[in-house]
Amino acid sequence: MENPGIRRRPVQQRSIDRVERILDACARLLDEVGLDALTTAEVARRAGVPGGTVYQFFDGKPGMLRELALRNLELLLLRLRRRVAEGGALTWPQAVELVLAETIEMRRTVPGYTVVDFADTRSGGQTFLPQGEAAEGGDVLAERLYHFALDEAGLPPLPDPYRVMRLAIQTTAAALQLAFAASPDGDPLMIEQGRRMLRAYFTEVSSAE
């Protein structure tokens, strides 16, 4: 079933290019005018497409934001794959620090990332826990990062991974919100406090029996 907010997935290259232009324009405008002032009409104008084109592919503004958040997630995972390939074996605390470092760099360099990197990307029922265990809802960011850690970084499973990952993501979001509210590049002292908190938390949960 198609994800909420997406009306139609592009197939032809011309349509794929249009969708990418729309998302690029959306990201740039988020940095320029902010979330509240963003309009689909201005996104379409900036992307150089007719106004109705946005609604051919997205369920309006929420659909664009969700798809931009998912695109950001794919970029984050790509960067993490490169980092994992360059290094050796990781522990959970080291992996979390790696995710934090890449997230901070993307907030500094990727248009629109500051606004939508922790946007609501709930999957509405996608299985989170492995081996058929019952899921308690779904969060694409939590699920993808957790399964990346298991399947690609070779880390061992965590106890109660749904709550651990959701809490870690929300904690990271709060720490970075404080850090980037204080400075466009992020207050390094606040970032360090967030890093220490995450490292201590994952040191404990990954060693729990």
Q: What digits encode the pLDDT tens for the residues 103-124?
A: 999 999 999 887 655 444 444 4
Give the Cα separation of 209 and 190 in Å (integer): 31
Q: Is the dihedral of CA 173, 122, 27, 75 positive or negative?
A: positive
Pair of tokens at residue 208: 């729990």
In contact, 38 and 61? CB cutoff 8 Å:
yes
Give the pLDDT score at 182. Answer: 86
Mean pLDDT score, 62-84: 90
Query: Mean pLDDT over all residues of the chain?
Result: 84
Q: Please report, rounded to a whole number, the percentage of residues in the chain having pLDDT higher than 70.
A: 85
In contact, 145 and 99? CB cutoff 8 Å:
yes
Domains of the chain with CATH codes: 69-207 (1.10.357.10)
Mean pLDDT score, 123-135: 38
Give the Cα separation of 94 and 112 in Å (integer): 27
Give the global pTM. 0.83
Per the DSSP assignment, residues forming a β-bridge with 6 are 58
pLDDT, tens digit, for every residue of 146-181?
A: 999 999 999 999 999 989 998 998 899 899 999 999
